[in-house]
């Protein structure tokens, strides 16, 4: 700490570097966990699993928008915009796949109600 109790620029840089390493570590853990979970699910269940994860992607979109709103530097804004763009694309794609999957379960002809 400096004389007035405020952190020095070097301390601020160290703190941001440490936060970056923690974020990278969390990202790597999430990636390995995702690969392990998906690799253990049978291929026939991949589409229902993907459509079920739309809920999670909606939360990711909200989180990306919050992060974009809190961004102060240009680099943070660019990364936030990319995160919002990718999350929105993922949500829309998931709903399109879900809609197609639900169409597969509909009857093709009129039913007799007797």
Q: What is the DSSP string of the chain?
A: --TTSPPPHHHHHHHHHHHHHHHHHHHHHHHHHHHHHHHHS-GGGHHHHHHHTHHHHHHHHHHHHHHHHH--SHHHHHHHHHHHHHHHHHHHHHHHHHHHHHHHTS-SSPPP--
* Residue 93 clears pLDDT 80, i.e. is over it: yes
Quote the mean pLDDT of the chain.
84
**Poorest-confidence range of 1-5, 22-26, 55-59, 93-97?**
1-5
For residue 19, what pLDDT is reported? Answer: 93
The pLDDT score that the predictor gives to residue 80 is 92
Segment 69-79 mean pLDDT: 92
């Amino acid at each position: 700490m400096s004389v007035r109790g405020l952190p020095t620029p070097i301390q601020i840089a160290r703190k941001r570097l440490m936060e970056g390493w923690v974020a990278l570590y969390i990202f790597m853990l999430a990636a390995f966990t995702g690969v392990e979970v998906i690799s253990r699910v049978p291929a026939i269940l991949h589409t229902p699993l993907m459509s079920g994860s739309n809920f999670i992607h909606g939360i990711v979109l909200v989180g990306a928008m919050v992060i974009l709103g809190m961004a102060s530097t240009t680099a943070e804004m660019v990364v936030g915009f990319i995160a919002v763009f990718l999350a929105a694309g993922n949500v829309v794609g998931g709903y399109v796949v879900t809609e197609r999957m639900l169409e597969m379960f509909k009857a093709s002809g009129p039913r007799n109600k007797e």
